[in-house]
């Protein structure tokens, strides 16, 4: 193949652009991995496959009655446009039939998963048990509930959630267990009794939905790691 002067310049420019893109892509990947926060919606396949399969259509966002799912913004690098749940703002309430999974057209959310028992979204840890109201002997306040209500009360299920939370005002807090959406709650979280009170312990069947993280009025008792 004969390459003339014009081609040399053209290929040179393309090579430089290609290298720049590769470098940029590398940076984006690193940026994304280093800054990953939040968890994927229920039924998400393994992360590499998820990134290939998700077409960023936002169907899972549209159908979530708790407004728990949002699409990542530009700060997420190459993850931009993919769905995430941020448990500090709103956990996943493991709705019947998992509508987000049903709505996903691409298989990024695995259609074989249709039940809370099959869901594993994150590893939840009790990282600051000493802050639990069960040990500090603090009762749930109106302010605590208002803070959670600020996460959103647009849909009927969100309104119902806040109404149920209001019933805890003035009570000893057991919110993380009482509001855990796993069908057999005691297999997901249970309380350990001590001479000074009680604190939660995460159990094997915990779905990693993040509801306890969202609702805990003490704020930082739990932490999570995406799986």
Contact between 134 and ligand SF4 by CB under 6 A: the answer reads yes
Please say whether the dihedral angle defined by the alpha carbons of residues 60, 95, 121 and 48, taken in this order, is positive or negative.
Answer: negative
By the rule CB under 6 A, 54 interacts with ligand SF4? yes
Q: CA dist 80 to 23, 51, 154, 157, 189, Å?
A: 18, 11, 25, 28, 33
Strand (E) positions, the chain?
69-71, 83-85, 122-126, 189-194, 197-202, 222-226
Q: Which is nearer to ligand SF4, 7 or 130 (CB)?
A: 130
Counting contacts by CB under 6 A, is residue 42 touching ligand SF4?
A: no
Position 101 contacts ligand SF4 (CB under 6 A): no
Residue 206 near ligand SF4 by CB under 6 A: yes
Rounded to a whole number of angstroms, the minimum distance from the CB of residue 15 to ligand SF4 is: 34
Nearer to ligand SF4, 23 or 183 (CB): 183
Q: Based on the shown chain and the rule CB under 6 A, indicate whether residue 80 belongs to the binding site for ligand SF4.
A: no
Letter string b/e over residues 11-43, b meaning 16 or more CB atoms within 10 A of that residue's CB: eeeeeeeeeeeeeeeeebeeebeeeeebbbbbb
Residue 173 interacting with ligand SF4 (CB under 6 A): yes
Query: Closest approach of Cβ 212 to ligand SF4, in Å?
Result: 3
Q: Is 98 in the site for ligand SF4 (CB under 6 A)?
A: no
Smallest distance, Å, CB 89 to ligand SF4?
15
| Residue 202 binds ligand SF4, judged by CB under 6 A | yes
Report how far residue 143's alpha carbon sits from residue 145's, in angstroms, rounded to the nearest whole number.
Answer: 5
Q: Which residue, 62, 101, 58, 64, is CA-closest to 81?
A: 58
Closest CA to 45 of 179, 210, 227: 227
Out of 210, 223, 226, 227, which residue is the one contacting ligand SF4 (CB under 6 A)? 210
Residues near ligand SF4, by CB under 6 A: 54-60, 83, 103-104, 106, 108-109, 124, 132-134, 173-176, 180, 182, 188-189, 200, 202, 206-212, 216-218, 221
């Amino acid at each position: 193949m004969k390459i003339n002067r014009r081609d040399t310049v053209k290929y040179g420019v393309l090579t430089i652009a290609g290298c720049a893109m590769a470098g940029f892509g590398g940076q984006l990947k690193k940026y994304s991995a280093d800054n990953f926060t939040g968890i994927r919606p229920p039924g998400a396949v393994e992360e590499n496959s998820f990134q290939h399969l998700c077409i960023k259509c936002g169907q899972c966002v549209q159908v979530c009655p708790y407004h728990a799912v949002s699409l990542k913004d530009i700060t997420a690098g190459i993850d931009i446009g993919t769905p995430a749940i941020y448990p500090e703002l709103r956990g996943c309430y493991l709705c019947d039939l998992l509508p987000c999974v049903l709505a996903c057209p691409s298989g990024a959310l695995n259609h074989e998963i249709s039940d809370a028992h099959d869901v594993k979204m994150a590893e939840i840890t009790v990282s600051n048990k000493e802050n639990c109201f069960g040990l500090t002997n603090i009762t749930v306040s109106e302010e605590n509930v208002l803070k959670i209500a600020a996460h959103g009360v647009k849909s009927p299920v969100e309104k119902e959630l806040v109404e149920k939370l209001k019933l805890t005002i003035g009570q000893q807090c057991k919110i993380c267990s009482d509001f855990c959406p796993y069908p057999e709650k005691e297999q997901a979280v249970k309380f350990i009794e001590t001479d000074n009170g009680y604190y939660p312990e995460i159990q094997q069947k915990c779905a990693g939905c993040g509801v306890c993280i969202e609702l805990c009025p003490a704020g930082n008792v739990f932490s999570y790691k995406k799986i």
